[in-house]
Homo-oligomer: A and B are copies of this chain.
Amino acid sequence: MATNEMPGTVPPELPTRPDDALRVRRLADKQRHGRAALDAVLDAGSVAHVAIVDDGQPLAIPMAYVRDGDRLLLHGSTGSRLLRQLAAGTPVCATITLLDGLVVARSAFESSMHYRSAMVLGSCEVLAVDEREAALERLTDGLIPGRAAEVRPSTRRELAATSVLSLPLQRWSVKVSDGEVEDDESDLDGDAWAGIVPIEVRHGRPRPAADLRADIEVPASVRALVDGR
């Protein structure tokens, strides 16, 4: 497995000084610099691994998110200690990684993966109560576009039980590995196969809930997910 190509080195070099924080020092050819590249990765994902420090112990916690303009929205129960820590403004790192393929080289060393990965550093802010409903609709539509309009509005009790946080897209880094296999020249004469094996993610056939009334059809939002696969 190529030690210089694995997700293990995404981004391999870590912030030390604020002004130099997120420059990728190794494999700089994989770094993308435009906001469009960041948005493309964020909009393709649905779950971030959110890292925080809890009494000196780092923790990486999977959380559903959606991009809303220049920020990520996260949410959770007001009763969750994690959410309270995020709401208090603890430093966070939200990393989104999409695996796109296996890079099968002629040697283990040069083998690696195709991936897209975005890392966002910062601190969360708590959304005001009057912003919460719209934000929850964004989160619902983030997973299933169009779903928010198909369900009843959230109740006051539900809104009160939910904390919604935003993380600004100010300090971020994007890396994309999508290149060809790069074997050592001395391996090209060998008999080993080389190529890319794509990793495909798709939505499967919807399974109605056991207690669903027989006359209720699969809604447009879910049909679009499955047809778009």
Count this chain's copies in the assembly.
Answer: 2
Contacts of A3 in B (CB 8 A): 75-78, 161-163
B192 adjacent to A14 (CB under 8 Å): no
Interface residues on A, range: 35 or more
Mask of A125-144 contacts with B, CB within 8 angstroms, 1/0? 00000000000110110011
The residue of chain B having its C-beta at the shortest distance from the C-beta of A226 within the complex is B197
B204 adjacent to A201 (CB under 8 Å): no
> What residues of chain A have their CB less than 8 Å away from a CB belonging to chain B?
1, 3-4, 6-16, 25-26, 46-47, 49-64, 74-83, 85, 91-95, 97, 99, 101-102, 104-109, 111, 113, 115, 117, 119, 121, 136-137, 139-140, 143-144, 147-148, 150-152, 154-155, 158, 161-163, 180-181, 183, 187-188, 190-212, 216-219, 222, 225-226
